[in-house]
Amino acid sequence: MNLTLHVWRQKNSGAPGSMERYAANDVNPDMSFLEMLDVVNEGLITAGKEPIAFEHDCREGICGSCGFVINGIPHGPNKGTTVCQLHMRYFKDGDELFLEPWRAKAFPVMKDLVVDRSAFDRIIASGGYITARTGSTQDANTIPIPKGVADSAMDAAACIGCGACVAACPNAAAALFTGAKISHLGLLPQGQAERDRRALGMVAQVNAEMFGACTNVAECEAVCPKGISVEVIARMNADYLKASWKDRGARKESGE
């Protein structure tokens, strides 16, 4: 299989970038997309050229670090997978592929396909910690939780923070990511003590990071490799609204 790659190359965050063309020849259909890029980079290094920079770690669809846009779709055309899980058999001989980094003001390009996603780390940190004692592992039935609630919490907790939702959103919103992080703790008994503070803090940090506003386009759900539903956004909005009214009432009572 022979492919033509058009890759965004950018030396650093302060330099201008542009698309450059590369040939990927004799590609094994059983390769993952990142393995294909490894082979292309080997050829570039052999030729004394700068290899294409892209982020990766586990290569098992768990860490969320390997994301970039392939032909306009975050993580590529195969639904429910990260780039490292995307195999070359999903493409055809002679295809032209355009590779770009996530495009968002809150995700500045560091080099080529690598972006700075530390904004996500700051959003998580703004939610703080739960005060429930962890201790040793509890028996499954010690804290009765309805199955539907437990399932929803686990679905939200599946978020790997890859940033595809931001890249796909026309507003570069981080609503799906933030909603997932707020939901997976807010649904469980252990997360109730800080539920209001968590919603207020994380939404405030989202605004501080200059992410866009959610307008319910739902492109985020369509490209999420873990299939997280936009229901978490509705849950986040409800939690934030309730917390805001409680905070306003508390300030009024205290005379602030």
pLDDT in tens, 239-248: 999 999 998 8
Task: List 87's β-bridge partners, or say none.
Answer: 32
The pLDDT confidence band at residue 256, using thresholds 50, 70 and 90, is low
Strands 114-115 and 109-111 come out as antiparallel
- Per-residue pLDDT, averaged over 31-58, amounts to 96
Q: Are 149 and 187 in contact, with CB atoms under 8 Å apart?
A: yes
Q: What is the pLDDT at residue 110?
A: 96
Q: Is the pLDDT of residue 220 over 70?
A: yes
What structural domains does the chain harbor?
3-110 (3.10.20.30), 117-254 (1.10.1060.10)
- Considering the entire predicted model, what is its pTM? 0.91
- Per-residue pLDDT, averaged over 215-232, amounts to 96
The pLDDT confidence band at residue 131, using thresholds 50, 70 and 90, is confident
Rounded to a whole number of angstroms, the distance between the first and last alpha carbons of the chain is 68
Q: What is the pLDDT at residue 30?
A: 95
- Which residues are CB-neighbours of 116 under 8 A, at least 6 positions away? 13, 107, 108, 109, 110
Half-sphere exposure of residue 58, counting CA atoms within 13 Å on the CB side? 10
Task: List 23's β-bridge partners, or say none.
Answer: 4
